Amino acid sequence: MIPKGRGADADPANRFSAMRVEVDDDAWVDDDPRPLKTVFLRDDSQSVLAVNDADDLSFDYGLNPYRGCEHGCAYCYARTYHEYLGFSAGLEFESKIVVKENAPELLEAALAKPSYKVGKIAMSGVTDCYQPVERRLEITRRCLEVLARFRNPVTIITKNALVARDIDHLAELARHNAVAVYLSVTTLDPKLARVLEPRASSPRARLETIRQLSEAGIHAGVSAAPMIPGLNDSELPAILKAVADHGGKFAAYSVVRLPGAVKDVFSGWLDRHQPLAKEKVLGRIRAFHGGSVNATTPGIRNRGTGEQSKQLNAVFHTLCRRHGLDPHFPQLSTASFRRVMPGQGELF
């Protein structure tokens, strides 16, 4: 039985585990009508900033308050990171969420250190910092309060309209040109979005969030990511136009890649929701990645190679010019950074 509201339909084997449990095809299985419950686990890590050393990523540090993501996007490359925790890249990725409850305190301590080298921080570089539980826990909100006090630049990528809740902190950062928010929009079709990204905000809500942020003076735009050849890439023109119509100022895109067990998760999703298009979609993904469904080389892993990649890139830049969208990452400033000691006033 496929769990309702989930992107994956099974737990593929963990590549780091020497043991797995398999059930015979003819085994008796109770037909449990209850949905798969999400479990939240405490992360006691004593550091919260991960240094970025990849040349093709435009930030210096990554900050991820949550590991695993309840949004349940079947294509998500971050699913493989859950295997390092002993979980699967399938249902466990979206139902066993590891929470860094003390992330705001760890962030404050890190920024206050004299050894901290000021740099741009990315939130949701791996998993979405505004996934559903954030509404209750407010870990991301408290991290933004810290960043606003220190005036440390931050980039946010999210599929959740909940980011508009934190316009107060975002507006304070915007006063110092220290924030940019990308709403990830992969499709304008609400029916496709519901099964492709089952627990994320609707496309309409994401577009309205871009409008809200822009009207509040916050740099906002779109990450049309990922484009899945043969599934949603034909929507790129409509997505970029809609973003411009809602006040968005910049745009980015990437092409889907399916590392490790993500290939099996996404293949299973295609079997359930796009069975007739499955081979076409996987074939076109391989055409973008030199015969593979994944790429790891910095600089080309998110854009692909070959003629189809060049065509999509040309279309993207043409559409950005037509709609007045900047295809480059917003240039945030570190000039206003100030070091504030925890529990004390500002240091001048």
Q: 348 falls in which pLDDT band (50, 70, 90)?
A: very low
Indicate the domain borders of the chain. 39-323
Rounded to an integer, what distance in angstroms lies between the CA atom of residue 303 and that of residue 300?
5
- At 34 the pLDDT is 47
What are the C-alpha distances in Å from 338 to residues 58, 73, 120, 122?
22, 38, 14, 19
Paired residues of 123 in beta bridges: 63, 156
Query: Tell me, which fold does domain 39-323 have in CATH?
Result: pyruvate-formate lyase- activating enzyme (3.80.30)
346 or 236, higher pLDDT = 236
Rounded to an integer, what distance in angstroms lies between the CA atom of residue 23 and that of residue 307?
44
Q: 2 falls in which pLDDT band (50, 70, 90)?
A: low
- Reduced to 3 states, what is the DSSP secondary structure of residue 239? helix
Q: What pTM, to 2 d.p., does this model score? A: 0.88
pLDDT tens readout for residues 57-106: 778 999 999 999 999 999 999 999 999 999 999 999 999 999 999 999 99
Is 258 in contact with 283 (CB distance < 8 Å)? no
- At 57 the pLDDT is 76
- At 48 the pLDDT is 94
What are the C-alpha distances in Å from 60 to residues 109, 118, 322?
17, 9, 31
Count CB neighbours of 278 within 10 A. Answer: 17
Is 179 in contact with 219 (CB distance < 8 Å)? yes
Is 44 buried (19+), middle (13-18) or exposed (0-12) by CB count in 10 A? exposed
- At 72 the pLDDT is 95
pLDDT tens readout for residues 299-318: 888 999 999 999 999 999 99
- At 6 the pLDDT is 66
pLDDT tens readout for residues 116-165: 999 999 998 889 999 999 999 999 999 999 999 999 999 999 999 999 99
What are the C-alpha distances in Å from 93 to residues 10, 83, 85, 97, 204?
11, 9, 10, 7, 26
What are the C-alpha distances in Å from 329 to residues 64, 96, 216, 249?
20, 33, 20, 11
347 or 168, higher pLDDT = 168
Residue 158, H or E segment: strand 154-158
Paired residues of 99 in beta bridges: 42, 66
Angle, alpha carbons 197-203-207 (nearest 5°): 140
